Amino acid sequence: MCISLFDMFLIFLILVKGISVNAYDTPNDDGSSVTVSWESDIPYSSILILRSEQKDGVFEPICEARVGRNDYQDTLIVRGTFYYYQIKAMTDEGEIISAITGPTVASVQVFNTGRLNIFVAIIILFAAILFYISRAKREKLFIRKIPALAAMDEAIGRATEMGKPVLYVPGIMDIDDPQTIASMSILAKVAEKTAAYGTTLYVPTARAMAMSMAQQVVKEAATKVGRPDWYIADNIRYLTDDQFGYVSGVDGIMLREKPATNFYLGVFYAESLILAETGHSTGAIQIAGTAMPDQLPFFVAACDYTLLGEELYAASAYLSQEPVQLGSLKGQDLGKLIFIFVILAGVIAGIVGFQGFYNLFISVH
């Protein structure tokens, strides 16, 4: 076998300047891909990735990568088969071929280690919740007062005294959103109170499924307090899926029916301030709550009481006053305390330059 001068020149280039390739089983997947990554000191216009099942076999091109990329996920593989990879870089001086890397085989990972930190966090929180639930069964736990929820009775009572209805807006998202689920849990409590007082309750929804759920929740609540006759299905109505169409519909209800109390609990976007300001202009007492951080300032500015973020999720448990649910709230607070310590530890680790602590939290993909 004779080696030409040009081949020798290429080998020289590879050895001196270097173009390296590495192939490995893609971490945290179902064994359906191999990742090929490369590094090159030589400027190139494109990279051709070659693959073969034999080290001395024919290497077939499988993909051409653009400049700027330095890895490729090969999904056109058969699980359990060994592969060898090589890359060919197109440079101004011609083609440069890397050394062969392999064999590499893709395998199934049964646990996504990139999510280990989330798993640990859930386990800690879960343990804290279970611990406090068991404690709540034995002793009375102290739960801090949430002003917005404490004012709920007063707000519904005011509407009753004035002979005006209560308006409950469960946000604009469907029931696959946890905030809407939380909102439905609070709606159950509001419906119990309004049914007991015989006050009209309007629940306009932006999603048909949320309407169906709200109807069921309100109906059950009315039955629970012995007032099934109070329930009127048409008061829980679907308006439209369109964001601003929904806002104009709710604003219309506010201006026509003049509810004495407005609840805005759930997911809100740009409509939050339009709703809250219209409600304010009608003189209603307003209680809002959302876990959308960008909308919270609008509610704080325009409403009388606001459930801030996590308080929306805690509201149902708080209102129920059941020991088991209160225990879960206390567990959540303990989890928060642990995370505060973790953040403080992170700050200290950052100041002293301990990178290992930081690395514990960057593996989530």
> Could you tell me if 302 and 167 are in contact, meaning their C-beta atoms sit under 8 angstroms apart?
no
Residues 216-275 that bind another protein (CB under 8 A): 216-217, 219-221, 223-224, 234, 237-245, 247-248, 256, 270, 273-274
| Cα 235 off chain centre by | 32
Pick from 7, 176, 345, 350: which binds another protein (CB under 8 A)? 176
Q: Calculate the dihedral angle through the C-alpha atoms of 221, 222, 226, 229, rounding to the nearest 10 degrees.
A: -160
341 binding another protein? (CB under 8 A): no
Q: Is 108 helix (H, G, I), strand (E, B) or coil?
A: coil
Residues 69-88 that bind another protein (CB under 8 A): none
Region for 353 from its dihedrals, namely left if φ exceeds 0, alpha if ψ lies in -120 to 50, beta otherwise: left
> Could you tell me if 146 and 312 are in contact, meaning their C-beta atoms sit under 8 angstroms apart?
no
Q: Output the smallest distance, CB 115 to another protein, in A.
A: 6
Residues 109-138 that bind another protein (CB under 8 A): 109-112, 115, 119, 121-122, 125-126, 129, 133
Token pair in block for residue 300: 């704080």
Round to whole Å and give the CA distance between 120 and 116.
Answer: 6
25 binding another protein? (CB under 8 A): no
Part in contact with another protein (CB under 8 A); list of ranges 6-14, 38-46, 209-217, 350-358: 209-217
Q: Output the smallest distance, CB 88 to another protein, in A.
A: 32
95 binding another protein? (CB under 8 A): no
> Could you tell me if 174 and 207 are in contact, meaning their C-beta atoms sit under 8 angstroms apart?
yes
Which residue, 20 or 112, is less far from another protein as judged by CB? 112
Which residue, 225 or 349, is less far from another protein as judged by CB? 225
Part in contact with another protein (CB under 8 A); list of ranges 12-20, 35-43, 59-67, 207-215: 207-215
- 310-314: which pairs have CB atoms within 8 A and are 24 or more residues apart? 311/146, 311/148, 311/149, 312/179, 312/182, 312/183, 312/186, 312/265, 313/178, 313/179, 313/182, 314/146
Binding mask 267-306 for another protein (x = CB under 8 A): ---x--xx-xx-------------x-x--x-x-xxx----
